[in-house]
Structure 1
């Protein structure tokens, strides 16, 4: 609100952002290489956030709630709050551009900033220059939110390490609880150090930290969403299919992500803010001189013609086309590959793995078909039994008959 007030109102803020090319028209192309198309943002972005539903840190929080109703309410509120936060962050970028347009100053052209990730802290520190403590409060809030998210992820990784990877070894060697807690602490220390190391690597990545985070999170969240969808939508999904789909999807997604970073098409940079009054503004602030509004100078308005027009980003014809896939679609490709590969392997190995017998493990719309399939199998088994072909019934067949009968009674 402070930035909008300094600019001159929300209407002027929006008009300047539109004139400066910060509000591009909606692109409805279905080409996955279009960077920010409607489908990439809605379908691809939605696929990425579906991965958060099955994230270890999210599951730990959900399991701490006493009822399923509260868990559903938590997910619904999280969706609303997350949507509001992303809209607010996007609008913050428009406010920053309009603010420096009104000032006639581009901090990048002036040499004040070298990295795009420095813009928001610099902007906040500038607009709250006369409010002691506000800039520090803003930065403290940002760091607190980041540490909260990182601590949850590290805790989840440590829990996965102890329960999913090291549990067989613990059971084999009868490890004490004290020993397990010590190894869990070591795991937290290891993953924390890994996060700190990756933060230094992030400085060398092209683009903003938000873009890199969305790309890497989507590349990992997509396969996780795919195997959960496999298990929840198909009764014959098994461990062989889930493991195969996860591994293949992670490998292919990592290849596409790293290839896109190193060899993919670079986004077309937006034109800078018009004008170059940064040094004049600096002198005015130091000496206390009055500097007229650039919109009321002798030329009447800021000349937007001094900025280069925004070129239309074309689709590269050379190189591997997979490297040009929008980073918003990494989660979509991940869950599709995981689901299809997992489904194929599960069908190929279904003779060695029993299908699920508990309808609660399936999505609600799948349970109806599951019940019809169970009823058909029960009728066939009953007909086979009453036809006198008792000689073909082994222990496994009899076990299935008992299981089908119990389940049918529960349904009735």
Structure 2
């Protein structure tokens, strides 16, 4: 299906040009100020609003833009519960993780691991982070190419290479400041594109009331499924509890997020920036989920995949845009631009963060006392090299069969992100944690999650999909349309699976939780056991530990007090 016009390609190209121009602008403006601190942290001079937008857009990749509507179209509205998960995990990050990192004033998050444990733990953390984002960024770069392939004649490889080139171009030129302000521009483009899809689809089925009715009739509104079985793909507990652990890493200890905390002018601004992510992520998640409901309502009588209009469900959104907006000159181009904006923002942020990690944790450990100007140049070269690497990774994905983007990303991302999150949390949570326990816990956790993921490829979980229909498809040609209904609910009749198959059938949402909790539990137990043989441990700097909110630590009679200046510098404290 090729329906993009010249105008669409012009709009899409303009978006890429603007992104590149932002990088050129900041490179020229700051050409005499390109220190490592300026290039990688913007000299901690970015205000709250752009930091908040950049945090949101960095994680709102093309994976989310394509994946969330596809998830809802395929499995129903249960994914909307991720909004509650984000409220919980962002609050945890703002009040527990952010203060620890901001006090340290570090470039690489893994420096924390060295101060808390040992240089070896820092190196292991760096490797886990590089593994995590190599997989994630390759998927993020591949996702929009899949969409463009569904609606144009442009080969996937060509769009991957073009997207990767633009990312590397403005990231290596303008540094972190260019990444931040490009995120702001791209966030606006994404929002316009997703709202346009929702409004157009709602009009197509004569109002949102019909959208809701159709999805209810086709059993797609079963949001509050309180089934406690962790092997069921999408229940209330799976999405909320599993979602908190799945997305806590990128919003708390990931280099991408911590770099943005540290670029804020103050700790207060950093907290404000991340807390602004709560309403923003809820709004975006709702819009993306409702896009999935709208698209299903439009095609409810003829499932696109069964009608062979698409080759994978991740293509439903671009197909809808071209099919229903193709007659409106420029709108398909705007959508493709929003899709690539999601990819550009994520990949550019990832490349910039990986440059920091590789420079600080590997290069500077090999070559000490590198001059600042040389370090800046090296970080640029690292960004270029890594951009090429993830471009090759995205091309590789074109030749393998992958599941839905949300599932693929959550599974592979948490393969190493879960153990890494557990490593940081273990260090911040317990004074008794030692470097030996951290080694054992994280390695054991990585093996368990890897074993779980590999096993799930051979023993796939039972999936209960809501029904789809082909009653309205033209290829039936008057045949018995009752044969057009197809439901996967019959899979629920499988009443018994052996224990190993049930273990492998654990919902992918829980992979992050398994990785984190195994690291913490095993790491703590071995820390306590081995400490008895190692003798007294050095005291742990309290700044490297969580500082829990005062409601848990302050005596009750001191909790409710205020300080008020009454003149001449005198301060009076009174109880509330």
Normalising by the residue count of structure 2, what TM-score does the alignment of the two structures yield? 0.55
Contact 2:201–2:294 (CA under 8 A) maintained in structure 1:
yes
Matching residue within 10, 33, 38 for 2:231:
33
Deviation string 1:316-363 (CA, Å, 9 cap, x unpaired) is 327543321100001110110111122123223443632314257323
Please give the residue correspondences for 1:280-319 in structure 2 after superposition, counting only pairs within 5 Å: 306-309=484-487, 310-313=489-492, 314=494, 316-317=497-498, 319=500
Cα separation, 2, equivalents of 1:359 and 1:59: 16
Q: Which residue of 2 aligns with 1:333?
A: 514
Please give the residue correspondences for 1:98-137 in structure 2 after superposition, counting only pairs within 5 Å: 98-101=297-300, 104-137=301-334
Cα separation, 2, equivalents of 1:195 and 1:269: 33
How many residues get paired? 348
Structure 2 unmatched ranges of 5 or more: 1-198, 556-576
Cα separation, 2, equivalents of 1:304 and 1:152: 50
Structure of larger gyration radius: 1
SS at match of 2:490: coil
Q: How far is 1:40 from its partner?
A: 1.1
Matched, 1:68 2:241: no
Q: Which residue of 2 aligns with 1:90?
A: 289
Please give the residue correspondences for 1:335-350 in structure 2 after superposition, counting only pairs within 5 Å: 335-350=516-531
Cα separation, 1, equivalents of 2:523 and 2:361: 20
Q: How far is 1:247 from its partner?
A: 2.5
Deviation string 1:33-61 (CA, Å, 9 cap, x unpaired) is 11112111111101122112111010001
Contact 2:463–2:491 (CA under 8 A) maintained in structure 1:
no
SS at match of 1:29: coil
Contact 2:430–2:545 (CA under 8 A) maintained in structure 1:
no
Cα separation, 1, equivalents of 2:499 and 2:522: 29
Contact 2:215–2:296 (CA under 8 A) maintained in structure 1:
yes
Cα separation, 2, equivalents of 1:320 and 1:105: 34
Cα separation, 1, equivalents of 2:224 and 2:402: 25
Contact 1:237–1:355 (CA under 8 A) maintained in structure 2:
no
- Bigger shift: 162-171 or 307-316? 307-316
Deviation string 1:198-253 (CA, Å, 9 cap, x unpaired) is 32444534421122112222333322222222122212223333333222222322
- Bigger shift: 58-67 or 30-39? 30-39
Q: Which residue of 1 aligns with 2:537?
A: 353
Q: How far is 1:264 from its partner?
A: 2.2
SS at match of 1:166: helix
Matched, 1:148 2:327: no
Cα separation, 2, equivalents of 1:272 and 1:244: 47
- Bigger shift: 46-55 or 188-197? 188-197
Q: Which residue of 2 aligns with 1:215?
A: 411
Q: Which residue of 2 aligns with 1:54?
A: 253
Please give the residue correspondences for 1:174-213 in structure 2 after superposition, counting only pairs within 5 Å: 174-177=369-372, 179-203=374-398, 204-213=400-409
SS at match of 2:457: helix
- Bigger shift: 78-87 or 52-61? 78-87
Distance 1:278 1:69, change over 3 A: farther
Q: How far is 1:165 from its partner?
A: 2.5
Deviation string 1:255-277 (CA, Å, 9 cap, x unpaired) is 21233234322534543334234
SS at match of 2:498: coil
Contact 2:249–2:417 (CA under 8 A) maintained in structure 1:
yes
Cα separation, 1, equivalents of 2:377 and 2:319: 42
Contact 1:249–1:335 (CA under 8 A) maintained in structure 2:
yes
Cα separation, 2, equivalents of 1:224 and 1:261: 23
SS at match of 1:22: coil
Distance 1:25 1:56, change over 3 A: closer
Distance 1:368 1:120, change over 3 A: closer
- Bigger shift: 140-149 or 223-232? 223-232
Matched, 1:20 2:218: yes
Cα separation, 2, equivalents of 1:180 and 1:116: 44
Cα separation, 2, equivalents of 1:154 and 1:255: 29
Cα separation, 2, equivalents of 1:250 and 1:215: 13
Q: Which residue of 2 aligns with 1:391?
A: none
Cα separation, 2, equivalents of 1:89 and 1:187: 34
Cα separation, 2, equivalents of 1:202 and 1:261: 17
Cα separation, 2, equivalents of 1:42 and 1:17: 22
CA RMSD of aligned residues (A): 3.0
SS at match of 2:231: coil
Distance 1:70 1:197, change over 3 A: same
Distance 1:16 1:367, change over 3 A: closer
